[in-house]
């Protein structure tokens, strides 16, 4: 492997990192507050689609990113309403959102653009990139790093973050201290889904410049794996997300070379996550009240 | 016999049935709004959808054919839920059932051997999640998501690697003629009959055996079950293994019972997504094996009708996934029945 390929894999992995890190940072925040969601795959896909429509209409990629955030906020509100206020199951709405996305996006691509399965974005709807000899780099890479660091700092170093974590660890005690458990949980779910929405729009209007009906490609689940792998810590998930992105880029690079089948590289992140949750290496513990509705007595 | 009849009635409840009907109605309603928004005629679309699914013998056969795999994956989810487990691993047990059928029928071209190996591999693939849950306390949603992806990439490799068809390298080798499931007619094999029998057996197991009672008891209240002298750990193990077995059977029958290919197609396209669809089927069927038979036929109907809907009303077939997603999100609303009842009363007053 020469220096050129190493650099190009590194740059690809930085781009691949963005949707994974944004989603895992959002999911970590949401689960720290006690709201579990497995619908991020669907959020990524739908915000990629709607983000592209926003960007095209405005001839501006940044509007597309904001559109993606809006889609995330709406889906987060739906999830929050079902799980926090109506005390419903945390996993089922996510399954519904994933199914919905698998319908809305292929249907929408055909109904809105009239092309089957895929749509190429015009140039004025795409984000500008920093050009290097080894590939293009988006400014969103730096935005993602900043978001991960700031989220970590707020979650672990500020009173707001302490309150968010308290409603996920011990809602009864938080409630007794006068913290509005439902409000914190609801807006945490919204924040989590909003970040995934940004990640989804990044894929269409920034990284790939196209919308494809299966473009989320399991990243919503990789992000969940990364969240667990990183011990529900946004800062660690920045590194974990880059590592997952690296495996993705490595598998793509290795595919035509027939050294190791790409499928085995793609499996690694999931195997590592299982090893870590099993406690064979290190230890990962979810927030205590994660996924359980809190009812005041 | 009389006792079992009244038990059956007691285990069925009108309320959840109505809730599922409401969810289906909401799904179609929002589907219609989406269709209208994009300039399609929803009445025309739904007319051809039902015409395609039920309007001909071929349509009905297709409905039942599509109902078969999701009936089995739905049973996996239901067995999990009834034992207090959120098993979303049906997806990958299904892959292993399918690839086991391909591998082992080419060793011995016997139908029963193929089905048995499908069930065995499906159950084996569910084992890690069971062990992690029982001995390490790992939440099954996390472990089954990971296992689904590991299984997916592994089976993808088997498809293009060791079991690729030398004459058509994107697909696997075929199921030998002698091991294929006999056809009833119109492309429908006896798989549907086996699936319904599996559902009835699952019902019998859960509601009419000591083992099933123990499983359901530990699902309702783990502590109480333990005080009553039952072992929830054993119940959890059985729940995963039976669940994996059912999905493995589904995967094996998908390949052994559906022509003309009788092979796993390129990129695993004909084995992907049945586990996730099955969760929707189980939810609408209220995690009851008999409800699941009906709900699988309903979802099979949606799928079978799309061809005619696309041809006649020119509506993209993905609209049924939209409807399916809305139905699942709607059944996730707790006490939907009370909410709707309250709304109707308010409207009447």
Q: Judge whether residue B287 has pLDDT over 70.
A: yes
Q: What is the mean pLDDT of the segment spanning B198-226? A: 89
Q: What is the mean pLDDT of the segment spanning B324-332? A: 92
**Is B28 an interface residue toward A (CB < 8 Å)?**
no
Q: What is the mean pLDDT of the segment spanning B125-139? A: 91
Instruction: Name the domain count of chain B.
Output: 1
Distances, alpha carbon A217 to alpha carbons A16, A222, B286, in Å = 12, 9, 30
Q: What is the mean pLDDT of the segment spanning B287-305? A: 95
pLDDT value of position B7: 59
B263 belongs to a structural domain: yes
B257 belongs to a structural domain: yes
Angstrom distance (rounded) from CA A218 to CA B218: 33
pLDDT value of position A131: 87
Closest chain B residue by Cα to residue A75: B329
Angstrom distance (rounded) from CA B240 to CA B220: 17
- B154: which chain A residues are within 8 Å (Cβ-Cβ)? 263, 267
Closest chain B residue by Cα to residue A82: B333
pLDDT value of position B151: 96
Cis peptide before B260 (omega within 30 of 0): yes
User: 3-state class of A92 per DSSP?
Assistant: helix
Nearest to B149 among A78, A82, A270 (CB): A270
- B320: which chain A residues are within 8 Å (Cβ-Cβ)? 103
Asked whether the beta carbons of residue A111 and residue B38 sit closer than 8 angstroms, the reply is yes
B28 belongs to a structural domain: no
Hey, what are A169's tokens? 């660890």
- A114: which chain B residues are within 8 Å (Cβ-Cβ)? none
Residue B39, min C-alpha distance to chain A (Å): 9
Asked whether the beta carbons of residue B334 and residue A87 sit closer than 8 angstroms, the reply is yes
Hey, what are A64's tokens? 């597309």
Q: Judge whether residue B8 has pLDDT over 70.
A: no
Q: Judge whether residue B155 has pLDDT over 70.
A: yes
Burial B273-296 (b: 16+ CB within 10 A, else e): bbbbbbbbbbbbbbbbbbbbbbbb
User: Residue A163: exposed, middle, or buried by beta-carbon count in 10 A (0-12, 13-18, 19+)?
Assistant: middle
Give φ, ψ of A2 to 5 degrees: -90, 170
Strands A118-120 and A135-137: unpaired
pLDDT value of position A212: 94
Question: Which residue has better confidence, B137 or A101?
Answer: A101
- B143: which chain A residues are within 8 Å (Cβ-Cβ)? 274, 277
CA A187-A192-A195 angle, to 5 degrees, is 120
pLDDT value of position A1: 64
B334 belongs to a structural domain: no
List strand residue ranges (DSSP E) for chain B, in order: 164-165, 168-172, 183-185, 188-189
Residue B105, min C-alpha distance to chain A (Å): 25
**Is B33 an interface residue toward A (CB < 8 Å)?**
no
B92 belongs to a structural domain: yes
Hey, what are B290's tokens? 């008999």
Strands B164-165 and A118-120: unpaired
Asked whether the beta carbons of residue B142 and residue A228 sit closer than 8 angstroms, the reply is yes
Asked whether the beta carbons of residue A277 and residue B132 sit closer than 8 angstroms, the reply is yes
Low-confidence ranges of chain A (pLDDT < 50): none
Q: Residues B230-242: pLDDT tens digits?
A: 788 899 999 999 9
Angstrom distance (rounded) from CA B182 to CA A150: 62
**Is A267 an interface residue toward B (CB < 8 Å)?**
yes
| Confidence band, pLDDT 50/70/90 cuts, at residue B335 | confident
Architecture of domain A3-277: Orthogonal Bundle (1.10)
What is the pLDDT of chain B when averaged over all its residues?
Answer: 91
Q: How many CB pairs under 8 A join A and B?
A: 142
Report the length, in residues, of chain B: 349
Q: Judge whether residue B186 has pLDDT over 70.
A: yes
Q: Judge whether residue B58 has pLDDT over 70.
A: yes
Q: Judge whether residue B345 has pLDDT over 70.
A: yes
Query: Chain B, 46-75: which have a CB under 8 Å from a chain A CB?
Result: none
Q: What is the mean pLDDT of the segment spanning B17-33? A: 93
Angstrom distance (rounded) from CA A100 to CA A115: 20
A211, containing H or E segment:
strand A210-212
**This prediction's pTM:** 0.91
Asked whether the beta carbons of residue A104 and residue B157 sit closer than 8 angstroms, the reply is no
Q: Judge whether residue B153 has pLDDT over 90.
A: yes
Query: Chain A, 73-102: which have a CB under 8 Å from a chain B CB?
Result: 78, 82, 86-89, 91-93, 95-102
Asked whether the beta carbons of residue A78 and residue B329 sit closer than 8 angstroms, the reply is yes
CA B13 to chain centre: 21
Closest chain B residue by Cα to residue A224: B142
Angstrom distance (rounded) from CA A212 to CA A44: 12
**Is B128 an interface residue toward A (CB < 8 Å)?**
yes
A29, containing H or E segment:
helix A3-32
- Which residues does B133 contact at the CB level (< 8 Å), separation at least 6? B85, B139, B140, B143, B236, B240
Q: Which residues pair with B164 in a beta bridge?
A: B172
Q: Is the dihedral of CA A141, A51, A31, A266 positive or negative?
A: negative
Q: Judge whether residue B76 has pLDDT over 70.
A: yes
Crossing angle between the packed helical segments B42-54 and B57-82, to the nearest 10 degrees: 90
Q: Is the dihedral of CA A181, A182, A187, A193 positive or negative?
A: positive
Angstrom distance (rounded) from CA A195 to CA A237: 14
pLDDT value of position B142: 86
User: 3-state class of B177 per DSSP?
Assistant: helix
Q: Judge whether residue B265 has pLDDT over 50.
A: yes
Question: Which residue has better confidence, B10 or A89?
Answer: A89
Angstrom distance (rounded) from CA A231 to CA A209: 33
Asked whether the beta carbons of residue B325 and residue A102 sit closer than 8 angstroms, the reply is yes
Q: Judge whether residue B276 has pLDDT over 70.
A: yes
Query: What share of chain B has pLDDT > 70, as a percent?
Result: 96
Asked whether the beta carbons of residue B322 and residue A103 sit closer than 8 angstroms, the reply is yes
Q: Is the dihedral of CA A157, A158, A161, A165 positive or negative?
A: positive
Q: Which residue blocks in A135-180 are alpha helix, DSSP H? A: 140-157, 159-169, 171-176
Expressed as residue numbers, the domain containing B166 is 66-302
- B141: which chain A residues are within 8 Å (Cβ-Cβ)? 36, 38, 91
Nearest to A83 by CA among A168, A175, A20, A203: A168
- B157: which chain A residues are within 8 Å (Cβ-Cβ)? 261, 263-264
Residue A205, min C-alpha distance to chain B (Å): 23
| Confidence band, pLDDT 50/70/90 cuts, at residue B1 | very low
B126, containing H or E segment:
helix B111-136
Q: Is the dihedral of CA B224, A284, B245, B249 positive or negative?
A: positive
Angstrom distance (rounded) from CA B139 to CA B195: 29
User: 3-state class of A136 per DSSP?
Assistant: strand
Query: What share of chain B has pLDDT > 90, as a percent?
Result: 72
Rg (Cα) of chain A, in Å, rounded? 19
| Confidence band, pLDDT 50/70/90 cuts, at residue B337 | confident
- Which residues does B102 contact at the CB level (< 8 Å), separation at least 6? B163, B172, B173, B175, B255, B263, B264
């Amino acid at each position: 492997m020469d220096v050129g390929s190493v650099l190009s894999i590194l740059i690809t992995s930085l781009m691949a990192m963005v949707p994974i890190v944004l989603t895992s940072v959002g999911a970590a925040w949401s689960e720290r507050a006690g709201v579990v969601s497995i619908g991020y795959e669907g959020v990524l896909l739908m915000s990629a689609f709607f983000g592209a429509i926003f960007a095209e209409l405005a001839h501006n990629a940044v509007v597309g990113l904001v559109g993606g955030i809006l889609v995330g906020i709406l889906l987060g509100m739906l999830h929050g309403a079902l799980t926090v206020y109506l005390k419903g199951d945390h996993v089922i709405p996510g399954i519904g959102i994933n199914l919905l996305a698998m319908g809305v996006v292929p249907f929408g691509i055909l109904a809105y653009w009239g092309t089957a399965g895929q749509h190429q974005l015009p140039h004025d709807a795409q984000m500008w990139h920093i050009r290097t000899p080894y590939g293009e780099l988006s400014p969103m890479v730096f935005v993602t790093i900043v978001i991960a660091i700031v989220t970590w700092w707020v979650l672990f170093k500020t009173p707001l973050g302490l309150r968010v974590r308290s409603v996920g660890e011990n809602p009864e005690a938080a409630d007794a201290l006068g913290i509005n458990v439902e409000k914190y949980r609801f807006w945490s779910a919204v924040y989590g889904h909003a970040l995934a929405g940004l990640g989804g729009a990044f894929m269409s209007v920034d990284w790939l410049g196209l919308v494809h009906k299966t473009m989320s490609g399991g990243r919503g689940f990789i992000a969940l794996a990364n969240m667990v792998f990183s011990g529900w810590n946004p800062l660690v998930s920045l590194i974990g997300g880059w590592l997952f992105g690296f495996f993705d880029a490595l598998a793509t690079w290795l595919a035509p070379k027939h050294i190791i089948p790409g499928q085995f590289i793609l499996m690694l992140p999931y195997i590592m996550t299982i090893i870590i949750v099993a406690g064979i290496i290190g230890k990962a513990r979810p927030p205590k009240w994660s996924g359980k509705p809190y009812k005041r007595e | 016999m009389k006792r079992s009849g009244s038990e059956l009635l007691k285990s069925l409840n009108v309320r959840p049935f109505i809730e599922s009907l409401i969810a289906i109605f909401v799904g179609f309603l929002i589907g219609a709004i989406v269709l209208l928004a994009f300039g399609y005629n929803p009445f025309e679309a739904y007319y051809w959808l039902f015409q395609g699914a039920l309007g001909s013998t071929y349509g009905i056969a297709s409905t039942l054919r599509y109902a078969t795999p999701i009936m089995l994956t739905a049973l996996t989810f239901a067995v999990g839920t009834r034992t207090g487990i959120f098993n979303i691993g049906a997806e990958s047990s299904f892959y292993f059932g399918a690839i086991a059928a391909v591998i082992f029928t080419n060793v011995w071209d016997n139908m029963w051997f193929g089905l048995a190996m499908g069930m065995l591999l499906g159950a084996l693939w569910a084992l890690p999640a069971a062990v992690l849950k029982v001995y390490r306390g790992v939440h099954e949603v996390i472990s089954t998501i990971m296992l689904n992806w590991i299984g997916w990439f592994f089976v993808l490799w088997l498809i293009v690697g060791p079991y690729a068809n030398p004459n058509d390298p994107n697909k696997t080798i075929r199921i030998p003629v002698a091991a294929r499931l006999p056809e009833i007619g119109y492309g429908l094999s006896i798989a549907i009959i086996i699936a319904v029998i599996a559902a009835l057996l699952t019902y019998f197991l859960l509601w009419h055996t000591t083992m099933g009672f123990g499983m359901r008891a530990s699902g309702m209240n783990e502590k109480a079950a333990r005080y009553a002298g039952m072992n929830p750990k054993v119940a959890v193990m059985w729940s995963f293994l039976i669940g994996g077995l059912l999905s493995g059977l589904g995967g094996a029958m998908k390949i052994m019972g559906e022509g003309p290919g009788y092979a796993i197609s390129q990129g695993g396209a004909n084995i992907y997504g049945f586990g996730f669809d099955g969760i929707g089927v189980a939810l609408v069927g209220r995690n009851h094996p008999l409800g699941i038979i009906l709900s699988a036929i309903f979802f099979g109907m949606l799928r079978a009708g799309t061809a005619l809907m696309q041809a006649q009303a020119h509506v993209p077939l993905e609209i049924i996934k939209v409807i399916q997603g809305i139905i699942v999100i709607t059944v996730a609303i707790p006490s939907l029945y009370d909410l709707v009842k309250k709304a109707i009363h308010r409207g009447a007053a």
